[in-house]
Structure 1
Amino acid sequence: MKNTILKPLLIITLFFYAIVASAQSGAVYSFIFDVDSELTDFLKVDRNKKNWLSGFSVSKIFPEELINSIKIKTEEAFTEKLQMPVKMCFYRNKKGKIYDSGGIGGRLEGLPSNTFKGAKVSCTENNRYIRYYVKISNGGSTSVFFGKNKTKTKINTKPNLKIHATVFDENKNKVWKKKIEIKDFSNLRSIKRYYGVFNITKSEVLSNEDIYAMYIMGLEELMKE
């Protein structure tokens, strides 16, 4: 008799917890992705005397389709990790305008740039809020001078990837935190030539596809137990 009563109660309880679990969701409210310009500028001109033109550089624009793929892959990875749907959370002003990371100074554009407080307003009814930082930088360089009167320099640059993720609950208590670093990428080579007051550097650089592949490698490493 007792078993007959308990079984329906057990089913109702499990059903209740299933509903609660299914209602949980997460939001990536801050996603900063920085890439050092020296890893992407294939041509750089510097002037030794700073009283005139200080210098300029040329690099490739990161395509929108790869930005979208980065967002999707990140959402999928955190969805699997946290066992709940996770989406990007963008700040919107009162007029509905969306603000993102902007793409200034080597920062990839089109990614969320919000605060925890802002995310609670812009992306309500979430149980998890994610602050996320990715940095691809110069992990170290070696230089060799050569040529007549040392007019050239060979430079080997070692790319480095760091990812730092923090997951908060709705009260900003930390529920998960992890950071990883990957250093074993191939060197990038460049040649710097000196022409009077001008220094001109032509470099091997990370392509957009290289940056994307490095990020996916880091994302997979981050999600490991």
Structure 2
Amino acid sequence: MPSSIKSIAFDADDTLWVNETFFRDAEDQFCALFKDYLSYEECQKRLFEMEMRNLPRYGYGIKPFTLSLIEAAIEITDNRVSIAQVSELIALGKEMLEAPVVLIDGIEEVLYTLSRKHKLVVATKGDLLDQERKLDKSGLAKYFHHIEVMSDKQPENYTKLVNHLDIAPQEFLMIGNSLKSDILPVLEIGGYAFHIPFHTTWIHEQIADEVKHANFKELSHASEIVDILE
């Protein structure tokens, strides 16, 4: 790692705290609710297709996911979904929004150590209100110099962030669990990126190819960041 790194950005969901498991549990409950209409596998497929159709319109997060649950239910049942079932789906979304924030093991110790010498940033995507809520509940906000909630994570989004931080891309390090969203766009603009896999990844965030790049490192635990940078 070069000594020129001035800002270290962390993804939020599944990098700072657990997130994807709540969505997988909600999918399971949704498919169980409509098991009389189609198989679990077909249910997952139809729900994912609905999410992808809605993504350009609604963006990322729990509220867009809840809308997709309702729309998928209408489609799956051919408009026969009951008000009680719709209410159950809305309640499921609210339950996700109110879920406790569970920190990734060891992440606070890493942030505490790094924040003494480095300028830390949250760079995440999703619903602004929900991400602010989770950051507040997490108790981690005190470690960060800047919070950036993006509508998406494309190279141009990272370029805007780097410009806002008033640094060059080669002075920027991104850490996250998604190769597609956290790693590849940052490498494309000339930054550095560390990948820390989470045990489950949304299919939309998965890529087939292995990442090979001079500015890239694959880690197994957040504590390795300190070993590399300190």
Query: Do Structure 1 and Structure 2 share a fold, with TM-score over 0.5?
Result: no
TM-score when scaled to structure 2?
A: 0.30
Name whichever structure is richer in strand by fraction: 1
Name whichever structure is richer in helix by fraction: 2
